[in-house]
Structure 1
Amino acid sequence: MLRRPTSRRVATASLAALAVAGLAACAPSIGAVPADDAANPACAPVMLALPETLAGDLPQRDTNAQATTAWGDPGAAVTLRCGVTPPGPSPDCQRVESPTGTVDWIVEASDDGTWRFTTYGREPAVEVVVPPAVTAGHSTSFIGDLAQAVGNVEPTAECT
């Protein structure tokens, strides 16, 4: 014999569903500033191909801006923006080869220990910012893990 759900059971199930939905809504989202050319259609394939985990233990996080993503903890995350202004030639240009592709990056280190990697010879350009909190426990070699995604924007120039 089938029992009809009582209003108490329905209410309990509804509250449980709301609690789970509420917890999902509280997942950490990281604030980001979109790049000037974030709406460039060429950013979409880059964003869709990014790894879910970076450096083996930095999970990808939601961000609040178009064509951005982050890995790690809020306040101490690696951030990526697609659609930044392509940089010109620089002596700081370095070629990074990985099993998934080769990408030229302009590599800059600031006085506070933050590293900035900006693709060279690709439009739109992609920028990756690595804070000191991440480099304290990780090498920046994980930049090579982004080659497959960044490779969705064809290069038009190379480091010289």
Structure 2
Amino acid sequence: MSLRPAALLAVILAGAGLALTGCTPIVSLDPAAQANDPGCAEISVRLPDTVAGEQKRETDAQATGAWGDPAVVLLRCGVPPIGPTTKPCVTVNGIDWVLMTDPAAKSIVYQTFGRTPATEVIIDHVHGVSDSSVLPEFASAIATIKQTQKCLDTLDTGTSGATPSPSPSK
């Protein structure tokens, strides 16, 4: 069975229409102040294709990443590094992350600690994405940036309370 040219053209146009409707728009983000740092280029080329089961999307800003439709995970490299802080710090696969927002917020922001350039990750909790399914995915990319300080929890510092503090890494 062969298709006539008009029928073939109709099939091709229908397929092209379906392909175009399946495209997701580019995620618009603002680049961080130090997005042009060579370290951000090292991170950018190593970003995973999927995070928490969500596919990577195209973004319109240097040194950024987005995953999911709608985007449920965002990444920006080149944010100003933070110094000593009393905010909670967690180490995931060798990367120190500081929780920058209220843990009950709908969108949670984590920032790397002790690495310049610093990277932030924003996780949308409204759509059921968990921190533990996101942060490990970025370890190999972020590990390309040398860590100069390490977060310590209160057990390491000998202090009481839940105040992490930095120390130079060895």
Scaled by the length of structure 1, what TM-score is found? 0.77
- Structure 1: which amino acid aligns with 2:28? G
Partner SS state of residue 45, structure 1:
helix
Decide whether aligned partners of structure 1 residues 148 and 29 sit closer, same or farther in structure 2, where only a CA change above 3 A counts: same
1:124-147 deviation per Cα after TM superposition (whole angstroms, max 9, x unaligned): 00000112323xx23211212211
Percent identical pairs in the alignment equals 37
> 2:141 aligned with 1:149, yes or no?
yes
The equivalent of 1:71 in structure 2 is 67
Decide whether aligned partners of structure 1 residues 25 and 39 sit closer, same or farther in structure 2, where only a CA change above 3 A counts: farther
Partner SS state of residue 51, structure 1:
coil
2:96 to 81, 84, 104: 104
Decide whether aligned partners of structure 1 residues 19 and 69 sit closer, same or farther in structure 2, where only a CA change above 3 A counts: same
Partner SS state of residue 29, structure 1:
coil
1:116 to 109, 115, 125: 109
- What are the equivalent positions in structure 2 for 1:50-89 lying under 5 Å apart? 50-55=47-52, 57-74=53-70, 76-89=71-84
C-alpha distance in 2, partners of 1:124/1:156?
11
Which segment drifts farther, 89-98 or 150-159? 89-98
- Structure 1: which amino acid aligns with 2:73? V
- Structure 2: which amino acid aligns with 1:130? I
Runs of 4+ that moved beyond 6 A: none
Do 1:96 and 1:144's aligned partners in 2 also have CA atoms closer than 8 Å? Answer: no
Decide whether aligned partners of structure 1 residues 133 and 32 sit closer, same or farther in structure 2, where only a CA change above 3 A counts: same
1:91 CA drift (Å): 2.0
1:93 CA drift (Å): 4.4
Aligned length: 146
Unpaired runs of at least 5, structure 1: 1-7
Decide whether aligned partners of structure 1 residues 85 and 25 sit closer, same or farther in structure 2, where only a CA change above 3 A counts: farther
1:95 CA drift (Å): 3.4
Scaled by the length of structure 2, what TM-score is found? 0.73
> 2:123 aligned with 1:127, yes or no?
no
Do 1:93 and 1:104's aligned partners in 2 also have CA atoms closer than 8 Å? Answer: no
Do 2:99 and 2:109's aligned partners in 1 also have CA atoms closer than 8 Å? Answer: yes
1:25 CA drift (Å): 9.3
Unpaired runs of at least 5, structure 2: 152-165
Q: Which has the higher strand share?
A: 1
C-alpha distance in 2, partners of 1:112/1:39?
30
1:63-105 deviation per Cα after TM superposition (whole angstroms, max 9, x unaligned): 111110111123x42100010100111122423232xxx0111
C-alpha distance in 2, partners of 1:82/1:31?
15
